[in-house]
Structure 1
Amino acid sequence: MAPSVAEISESQGTAPVTVPLKNVSETTESKPKVRRIIDEEKDSTASYPNYLPTWDHGEKYPAWEPFTHVEHGKGADPTFKDLLPEGSTIQRLTPSIGSEVRGVQLSKLSDAGKDQLALLVAQRKVVAFRDQDFADLPIPDALNFGGYFGRHHIHPTSGAPEGHPEVHIVYRNGSDGEVEAFFANRNSSVQWHSDVSYEQQPPGTTFLYILDSPEVGGDTAFVNQVEAYNRLSPAIQERLHGLRAIHSGFEQAEFSKGRGGVVRREPVSNEHPIVRTHPATGEKALYVNGGFTRSIVGLKKEESESLLSFLLNHIGRGIDYQARVRWGPKTVVVWDNRVTAHSAIFDWTTGERRHLARITPQAERPYETPYAA
């Protein structure tokens, strides 16, 4: 059985909305399996059935080719005059991470406003925009907006709206037994990760918008990886510079295969610096996460496990540099995957649907700059 849960979880520099050529092995005698939630949920009550996930076993994509990323936050106007016009409001969720904005319609932003959006999100790490029209736009229009910030990532294993593989769907339908099955072998739903960090060019400015959610519950937690780095002693900071870690997508692919799911692209692993630098802010951030970081290059097994365990525990317990975003109707959350990790929170037992869509522009290859005391 394929998994019932899909959450595992340029004009001036804009990447075009393009899809790599499919290599579909299909004959008239045997067509690849296609699983559609819309077929399984007879008379579905989903608010946006056009966003219900599909898994097409015939979709196969070649390896990603490197591309030149344009960082729109770099050099953007720090007064945010095109992003936060008169009458809009912005309120901090916590001192170090997270803001909430009202009175701004993202889909109407000018290019200058989009540049300032990239800068604001890099500074505040995660920003929730309320009363947005994203979910009601035609899907190609939402993708055109997201494509301004980089090349669209196509997830190798998750469900997507049919015909739009660039959209990653997060989905729980609240079916009977889902809660019990999820917690059968775990105590908590917290799984800190930075999306698909195993890619050579992982995501930067990232968009997630709500389609259906429980009345209470299903929040998303974010952690500020810049502040996590800043809290370390200078001696540890200096030692981490120059170290690289392996981020792997093989386990995710094997998990999908083992449950009869899709693997659209051959899995990869890549080495990234443990401390990366943000191109717009110059801030240094820890770049390891429990979802995909496997080991530290050049260290023996016990050494790698010990140091990586310390860093992941440090990130996970940093409640004073974390924020929890509560979803509401017509909310779009924008965050910077380069300087944060996040976790969905599975804490509702009312059987309500949780359905979101993610647009995931890729960014530059992670790099580090020399240690500075």
Structure 2
Amino acid sequence: MAGSSGACAWRVLPAACNAKHTKTVIVPSQSGTLKLQPAQEGKPAEEHYRYAHLLPHFSQDRYPPLTPYEHVDPGFRALKHPNPRAFLDNATSVVELTPNLGTEVHGLNLAEFNNDQRDELALEVARRGLMVFRDQQDFIDRGPEFYREWGSYFGRLHIHPTSGHPQNYPEIHLVYRDANTSFNFEINDSITSTVWHSDVSYELQPPGLTTFFLLAQPTTGGDTLFTSQVSTLKKLSPQFVAFLRTLKAVHSGVEQADFSRSGKRGGVVRRDPVENIHPVVRRHPVTGEEALYVNRQFTRRIVGLKREESETLLTFLYSHIDKAGDLQARVKWTPNTVVLWDNRVTAHSAIVDYGESKERRHGARITPQGERPIPALDGLDLSN
């Protein structure tokens, strides 16, 4: 883990150049922002980093607990459209990545979508779980004000309690790693970097439709894996699914907060960590599909079961998710790719296989909150 001494453990990073053609370093300002500054004279010039204004900022701001809000999914409106897939009409290519998960699209500009098209997009992402849009430089280059406007259309924007964000734009969650620094929630004492999760599932109202893109990426590697939690559930026997519908689980943000407090993530915790109870099987509010809703990163225990029973059941479900290669899709990042997924019906994992290249991977996530997870079993009490 880089950054062992907290948010000030930045070292040389090939990121930009100045008029004297000197190397640059990333250093923290007093406000916690990563800055590009000249280093030693006489060094070869480095390429200017186009997205230096979106480097991680670790503010010391404190936020109050999140309060409930009424979420109305835009996909509901698309159900009434004559053709809910009309937004794809002008695409030059629409390819299903797998039968049950993922669609790749070429020839559309997400940045120019009107409200009807955004509604249709929300519905299609809910149905397919994952959509990959190529050639989206216009979207990416419109900047953080546009990112906020885009995300706000799909729900209240989540501010991550521990991650870096562009200065003055806490709603934009940043993923960053280079040769010397990492602000991802990673555990280096494991034989694998694959950790399946649904983003911040510990919140009372976890995310729904999520948008993510890379501003910089390694030449090869750094892909993202996705799996359909609708499909993982369908693989199980009806009797077992009926049992799972009666269960609820605790999702916790405590470990992630403690990791940051140790100085390894960025050293800040802006909102006290929470734990919330969610159904093990949830229902999508628009499509009505049922999906498994546990994940190795944030789910901690099954409510009402003894410790050994809970651990055995969760270990089985995690293993099922891990092994289900026939239910997964792998996104290979190319420049100017924008990916959207529905956190309610998918899980995903970064693949950290590019460390030896010492190249930068810099991503931005726009994370609208959805509704409180709806139990697949009507009347399931989520109070305790």
Same fold (TM over 0.5): yes
Distance in 2, Cα, partners of 1:350 & 1:339: 33
Distance in 1, Cα, partners of 2:241 & 2:279: 13
Residue 203 of structure 2: aligned partner: 199
Does residue 36 (structure 1) correspond to residue 33 (structure 2)? The answer is yes
Task: Give the drift of 1:39.
Answer: 4.8
Question: Structure 1 counterpart of 2:321, which letter?
Answer: I
Distance in 2, Cα, partners of 1:41 & 1:342: 38
Residue identity over aligned pairs, in percent, reads 49
Task: Give the drift of 1:82.
Answer: 3.9
- Given the superposition, is the C-alpha separation of residues 289 and 295 from structure 1 closer, same or farther in structure 2, using an over 3 Å criterion? same
Does residue 362 (structure 1) correspond to residue 362 (structure 2)? The answer is no
Distance in 2, Cα, partners of 1:121 & 1:272: 22
Number of equivalenced pairs: 341
Residue 18 of structure 2: aligned partner: none
Decide which of 279, 285, 300 is 1:294's aligned counterpart: 300
Residue 146 of structure 1: aligned partner: 151
Does residue 65 (structure 1) correspond to residue 67 (structure 2)? The answer is yes
Residue 46 of structure 1: aligned partner: 49
Determine if contact 2:7/2:32 at 8 Å carries over to the other structure: no
CA deviations 1:185-227 (Å, max 9, x no partner) are 2211101110000000000000001100012110000010000
- Given the superposition, is the C-alpha separation of residues 33 and 302 from structure 1 closer, same or farther in structure 2, using an over 3 Å criterion? farther
Determine if contact 1:150/1:361 at 8 Å carries over to the other structure: yes
Question: Structure 1 counterpart of 2:198, which letter?
Answer: S
Residue 113 of structure 1: aligned partner: 117
Does residue 161 (structure 1) correspond to residue 163 (structure 2)? The answer is no
Q: If the length of structure 1 is used for normalisation, what is the TM-score?
A: 0.87
Distance in 2, Cα, partners of 1:308 & 1:169: 29
CA deviations 1:98-131 (Å, max 9, x no partner) are 1100111111111110011011111111111011
Distance in 1, Cα, partners of 2:328 & 2:347: 9
Residue 232 of structure 2: aligned partner: 228
Calculate the aligned-residue CA RMSD, in Å: 2.2
Determine if contact 2:202/2:251 at 8 Å carries over to the other structure: yes
Question: Structure 1 counterpart of 2:338, which letter?
Answer: V
Distance in 2, Cα, partners of 1:41 & 1:357: 26
Decide which of 74, 83, 86 is 2:76's aligned counterpart: 74
List gaps (5 residues or longer) in structure 1.
7-31
Task: Give the drift of 1:83.
Answer: 1.4
SS at match of 1:343: strand
Determine if contact 1:78/1:119 at 8 Å carries over to the other structure: no
- Given the superposition, is the C-alpha separation of residues 166 and 130 from structure 1 closer, same or farther in structure 2, using an over 3 Å criterion? same
SS at match of 1:120: helix
CA deviations 1:138-158 (Å, max 9, x no partner) are 311121011100000000000
Moved over 6 A (4+): none
* Structure 1 residues 179-258: aligned runs within 5 Å: 185-258=189-262
Q: If the length of structure 2 is used for normalisation, what is the TM-score?
A: 0.84
Distance in 2, Cα, partners of 1:364 & 1:333: 21
Residue 17 of structure 1: aligned partner: none
Residue 28 of structure 1: aligned partner: none
Distance in 2, Cα, partners of 1:144 & 1:128: 20
Task: Give the drift of 1:34.
Answer: 3.1
Q: Which moved more, 1:249-258 or 1:134-143?
A: 134-143
Residue 42 of structure 2: aligned partner: none
Task: Give the drift of 1:165.
Answer: 0.2
Residue 22 of structure 1: aligned partner: none
Task: Give the drift of 1:368.
Answer: 1.4
Determine if contact 1:68/1:364 at 8 Å carries over to the other structure: yes
Determine if contact 2:91/2:105 at 8 Å carries over to the other structure: no
CA deviations 1:224-267 (Å, max 9, x no partner) are 00000000001110001121000000111111001161001011
Task: Give the drift of 1:184.
Answer: 5.1
Task: Give the drift of 1:46.
Answer: 3.1
SS at match of 1:38: strand
List gaps (5 residues or longer) in structure 2.
11-28, 40-45, 379-384
Task: Give the drift of 1:96.
Answer: 1.3
Determine if contact 1:246/1:293 at 8 Å carries over to the other structure: yes
Distance in 1, Cα, partners of 2:196 & 2:9: 17
Question: Structure 2 counterpart of 1:222, which letter?
Answer: F
CA deviations 1:62-104 (Å, max 9, x no partner) are 0111000011112413734541123432101111111100111
Distance in 2, Cα, partners of 1:146 & 1:5: 32
Determine if contact 2:132/2:337 at 8 Å carries over to the other structure: yes
Distance in 1, Cα, partners of 2:82 & 2:193: 37
- Given the superposition, is the C-alpha separation of residues 87 and 168 from structure 1 closer, same or farther in structure 2, using an over 3 Å criterion? closer
Decide which of 268, 277, 282 is 1:276's aligned counterpart: 282
- Given the superposition, is the C-alpha separation of residues 78 and 54 from structure 1 closer, same or farther in structure 2, using an over 3 Å criterion? farther
Distance in 2, Cα, partners of 1:276 & 1:329: 35
Question: Structure 1 counterpart of 2:197, which letter?
Answer: H
